[in-house]
Amino acid sequence: MGFFNHFRIWVLTICLVFQSGYGFYLPGSYPHNHRVGDPLSVKVNSLTSIETEMPFSYYSLPFCKPQGGVKDSAENLGELLMGDRIESSPYLFKMYTNESEIFLCKSDPLSADNFKILTKRIDEVYQVNLILDNLPAIRYTSKEDYVLRWTGYPVGVNIQDVYYIFNHLKFKVLVHKYEETNVAGVMGTGDAAEVIPNVAKRDSGPPGYMVVGFEVVPCSVMINADSVNKLKPYDKFPNKLKCDPNTVSMPIKQGQPIVFTYEVEFEESDIKWPSRWDAYLKMEGAKVHWFSILNSLMVITFLAGIVLVIFLRTVRRDLTRYEELDKEAQAQMNEELSGWKLVVGDVFRAPNNASLLCIMVGDGVQILGMAVVTILFAALGFMSPASRGTLITGMLFIYMILGIAAGYVAVRLWRTIGCGDSKGWASVSWKAACFFPGIAFLILTTLNFLLWGSHSTGAIPFSLFVILLLLWFCISVPLTLIGGYFGAKAPHIEYPVRTNQIPREIPAQKYPSWLLVLGAGTLPFGTLFIELFFIMSSIWMGRVYYVFGFLFIVMILLVVVCAEVSLVLTYMHLCVEDWKWWWKSFFASGSVAIYIFLYSINYLVFDLKSLSGPVSATLYLGYSLFMVVAIMLATGTVGFLSSFWFVHYLFSSVKLD
């Protein structure tokens, strides 16, 4: 009976999500019912800047600290890897209780070091990120006729070489009456045990409120430090404080303290709980995404036409003509063969560095599988930005599980190339388990040393390094070896034709074949580059990316284009009697990674002009290189597998002695 209840709750949840008009995602936590006067505590996240891409701890600057000391919030693997450090703050509210002119604290006189670091962070446009009930503070500014949304607020501002700090914060908390209904009860993604009681039993007493919005207006207000000597934290400031976001009046000077104050106003809102994240996830430029998909579909149709021509006109015609002849005529025709039929005795000859190809294809299957599953889950709303870090944690988990697929594909391909010989399968699966993670580890460790040197919270702590190594060697490697074992036991793919002992000489080509291979990457890049701009802006400009539905469509289109491009190029190579197609088919679609890396450099030069310092540029290029290697393996694998299927199909349709 208990199982049936659990099942019914989850079915209802899924139905509600699909039918909900509030947005196609699940909020990251279930609603909290706050009574009037209940305490609400604000948390702080790392300071961030799009100019340096290096997060720093909030308390690395001389801000007020909570009276009971700073407490860390529990963080998941994804949050730590993204550089989030969520800590308690001194800002305290009472539910639906407006308060103004609240004195927070007076800092110590600014030392030379504190003054230097504060002015440096202001110059680097660092943002303070506050969180209330899992909602980041949002700030609205108007420019001409447009209203701009920002998460967080700047530390301060530099006007004519005078540094001003935003020392007074005006908060607005949007609340909605707590609705104890079945809808509110099951819309969370918390544990079922915590969700079910909300549906089953109702609270008696006056209804509470849910937090559905959190806005902040930062102000720089001139406050004389001597006037607060007798005040304690949370006392009311004796004078009226005028908060005008368009003027600044609190300069910072070495040797002088800073006084911090705040005010909070509560406002009842029509925003329902499930749609409280809409302000952060408003999808802009939907037309651009559709244009991107339309553009991709045109490329796919063009390539599909070429593939169809190859299959119907060329291959089918040749085979039909060949099969209609009697044996004598066939023997005569064999002597006059041209094009792809001439390489029949060499087309399945083992490529150079066969084990490396098997390893790269195995890792490519693992990365591609991870990307498809992660984006699909995110598109269905299971990886909402409300649940910080779930995207990265989910990607890691799925990647490790798919180690089985990597080992299986790598070893089965190895046995196929070796004509059924399973000798060395353990070595191949071990290398597949270490190839891409090894590259990733090398890049990330190098970048981590740079972050450690800068005392950034983006640096992976040593304890987390140990955890990642344990996950790699205790979960990922054994699963890949298990997959390799199954690959060694599975029957290898039989070649339809025999391979000659003496390799056939490849005729001189009019143009280098690798030039064609490198040029082929432009077509998959054409289907991807518009979406790439949005993804880059999300990663480096601090914007929330949540159009995973579009991304999933673009990814499917990318896979189709990669398969078509590689297939066409392989056929072209075989037609000019070039039987070395293995690596070329991999890099025909894998070369899209080169164009993505060039685009990353272009983005750095033209869109991230403000990126300051060699450390920031090195971080950017390092992360871009990591992304590009993963894309090369995934797209190359699609190209290789489609070409392998095509060549196998082509030569199994013709019997040549």
What pLDDT shows up at residue 337? 52
Q: What is the DSSP letter of 110?
A: P
Q: How far is Cα of residue 606 from the mean position of the Cα atoms in its chain?
A: 22
Are 490 and 407 spatial neighbours (Cβ–Cβ below 8 Å)?
A: no
Are 279 and 213 spatial neighbours (Cβ–Cβ below 8 Å)?
A: yes
For 642, residues 6+ apart whose C-beta sits below 8 A from its C-beta are: 562, 563, 564, 566, 567, 585
Which of 285-289, 371-375, 549-553 has the highest mean predicted lDDT (pLDDT)? 371-375
> 435 by DSSP, 3-state: which?
helix
- Residue 475 tokens, joined: 């979960």
What pLDDT shows up at residue 237? 87
More confident residue, 440 or 549: 440
pLDDT tens digits for range 291-312: 777 877 887 888 788 777 776 6
Main-chain dihedrals φ then ψ at residue 629, nearest 5 degrees: -60, -45
pLDDT tens digits for range 609-651: 767 778 888 999 999 999 999 999 999 999 999 999 999 988 8
What pLDDT shows up at residue 189? 38
pLDDT tens digits for range 569-597: 998 888 888 888 899 999 999 999 999 99
What pLDDT shows up at residue 308? 77
Are 78 and 398 spatial neighbours (Cβ–Cβ below 8 Å)?
A: no
Q: What is the mean pLDDT of the chain?
A: 83
Are 407 and 433 spatial neighbours (Cβ–Cβ below 8 Å)?
A: yes
196 pLDDT more than 50: no
| 357 torsion bin: left (phi>0), alpha (psi -120 to 50), beta (else) | alpha
Taking the CA of residue 579 as centre, how many other CA atoms within 13 Å lie in the half-sphere pointing to its CB?
20
- Alpha-carbon gap, residue 335 to 258, rounded angstroms: 92
pLDDT band at 17; cut points 50, 70, 90: very low
> 421 by DSSP, 3-state: which?
coil
Give the Cα-Cα-Cα angle 67, 456, 83 (nearest 5 degrees). 85
Helix (H) or strand (E) holding 101: strand 99-106
